[in-house]
Amino acid sequence: MPAPVQSSQLSTLAYGIVRQQLALLREHEAGARTGTDPEDVHDMRVATRRLRAALRTFDAVLPDERVVLYEELRWLGQGLAAVRDLDVQLERVQDLSPLDTDDDREALEVLRASLSQEHTQARSELNQLFDSERYAAILTLGADLLTRPVPHQAEVTVGGAACSLVERPFHRFRKGASRLDVHSSPAEFHAVRKRARLLRYTVEFVADAFSRPSARFVRRLVDLQDVLGKHQDAEVAYTELRELVEHSELSPGALFALGQLGQRYVEEAAELRAQFAEAYEHVDGPRWRELHRVLRRAAEDALPRGEHVGYVDRVTLLDGEYVPSPREWVRDQVEVYERSAGAAANTLRETGLPVIVVTMRGNKTGKVRKIALMRVEHAGAYALVASMGGAPKNPVWYYNLRANPDEVTVQDGAEPFAVHVRELSGQERADWWERSVAAYPPYAEYQTRTERQIPVFVATRAS
């Protein structure tokens, strides 16, 4: 598929990528069935992963059928992964240095036989999967999706959307990666590996229109993925070895040999964990800043031409690094709200009452922060109620608004807009408090829980 240009429609790019990955999935199916070349399973698995990444990245410019297809591809990926992971482990055993003693050879043969038995079973189950009605339904669903019309709200260019689409997985990746150290668990490393993979796919999908900076960034990301992939392989190999030792009857010498092999895997994983920090610095460094500048400039250039702001990164309206909320439900709601241009996650949990997304600058760090607040609107202005559920102290964002009242945006629907905020007092506060309680009755109860007067700001559109 030709590389996109910045003026191309994002929906055109999205449909093209989905079509390409579906074709690759079908292309490698025959080889994955026979197992003659293990790379066919690998390539089919990669196509499945990329297809799922595309459905997630371009969710708002693809029809609703993408949701079912996305989940069904997870099931397909699990079947492919069972075979592929064992292919990798068998290759590791094959590549082990020649062993000198009978105990070593016995241990290696037992390990190879165990892996081969699991591999045979996994291949049988994979072929049953290919023959199933559920797999046939996946192919039909994918073909049907490509015939659906582009959603009405999808008219946005690649240049206008790229920054927003790349930033989302980057911030998730950075949050996980920045917490890793040599003592982190294998599960934590593996989670970051998956986030790095989604980030790479997204950059490759969207940022091909920015070839040089994206290529340089992807090279750094691939280096990091290599470290994380080898680490995961070593951890899986060690786990496989432990299970074999626990369930096999071996001579003492063979058990000792397997123990030495397990120690080799442990040391390999430790060495790779030590390499992670340097590899991560190369990703979250000059190459990312270079790519981000180019993407952000393209998004800003797209705005005057009247493109759909719902896909332009909200951080471009308030410049700086975005730090998601430490509360999972808050950051998830903000992400879904923005990704869907306000079409989803637009109410407070089970209450059904509407919310808005407020973006501001942190009063200490200067970084961009986002929260979802109850929608209290009157004559085009909005009340921002710092209730914090009636807690004794004001929420942190209260101090952000006081420190930076002119660096705030509100999103109530598809498009965010700049606002000026000011804290209210006297009769003006009383009027807005009455409106706030009418919109969200629990505010009245929250006030009874605390001795502080709950602050109320009013946000008006900036001129």
Is residue 17 very low, low, confident or very high in pLDDT (cuts 50, 70, 90)?
very high
Residue 308 is assigned to a structural domain of this protein: no
Q: Do 57 and 202 belong together in one domain? A: yes
Are both 207 and 97 inside the same structural domain? yes
Say what the pLDDT of residue 381 is.
93
- Among 95-99, 113-117, 140-144, 333-337, the minimum mean pLDDT is found in 95-99
Residue 409 phi, psi (nearest 5): -130, 155
Residues 282 and 138 in one domain: yes
Give the residue-averaged pLDDT of 134-138. 94
| 173/104 same-domain check | yes
272 with 417, same domain? Answer: no
Q: What are the tens digits of pLDDT across the range 217-241? A: 999 999 999 999 999 988 988 888 7
Is residue 81 located within the same domain as residue 128? yes
Q: Residue 421's domain spans which residues? A: 320-461
For residues 241 and 369, membership in a common domain is answered with no
Any domain includes 60: yes
- Give the per-residue pLDDT at 346: 84
Within 270-391, strands assigned E span 355-361, 368-374, 377-378, 381-385
Mean pLDDT of 348-374: 89
Does any domain span residue 101? yes
What are the tokens at 81?
């992964």
What is the DSSP annotation of 24-41? Answer: HHHHTHHHHHH-SSHHHH
Dist. CA 43–CA 228, nearest whole Å: 19
360 and 277: one domain?
Answer: no
- 200: three-class secondary structure by DSSP: helix
Query: Is 299 a member of any domain?
Result: no
Distance of alpha carbon 402 from alpha carbon 289, whole angstroms: 30
274 in the same domain as 360: no
CATH at 448: 2.30.110.10
Q: What CATH code is carried by the domain that includes residue 35?
A: 1.40.20.10
Look at the chain and report how many structural domains it folds into.
2
Give the pLDDT confidence score for residue 230 in this predicted structure. 93
Q: Is 89 found in the same domain as 25?
A: yes
Check whether 86 has a pLDDT greater than 80: yes
- Tell me, yes or no, whether 202 lies in a domain: yes
What is residue 305's predicted lDDT score, i.e. its pLDDT? Answer: 44
Can you tell me the distance from the alpha carbon of 66 to that of 257, in angstroms, rounded to the nearest whole number? 50
Span of 2-11, 51-60, 110-119 with lowest mean pLDDT: 2-11
| Over residues 60-65, mean pLDDT | 82
pLDDT in tens, 305-328: 443 333 333 334 677 788 888 888
Question: Does residue 301 lie within any of the structural domains?
Answer: no
- Give the end of a domain, one of 288, 307, 342: 288
* 342 and 282 inside one domain: no
Mean pLDDT of 120-134: 94
Instruction: Decide if 293 is inside a domain.
Output: no
pLDDT of the residue at 96:
65
Q: Which residue has the tokens 């006081």?
A: 402
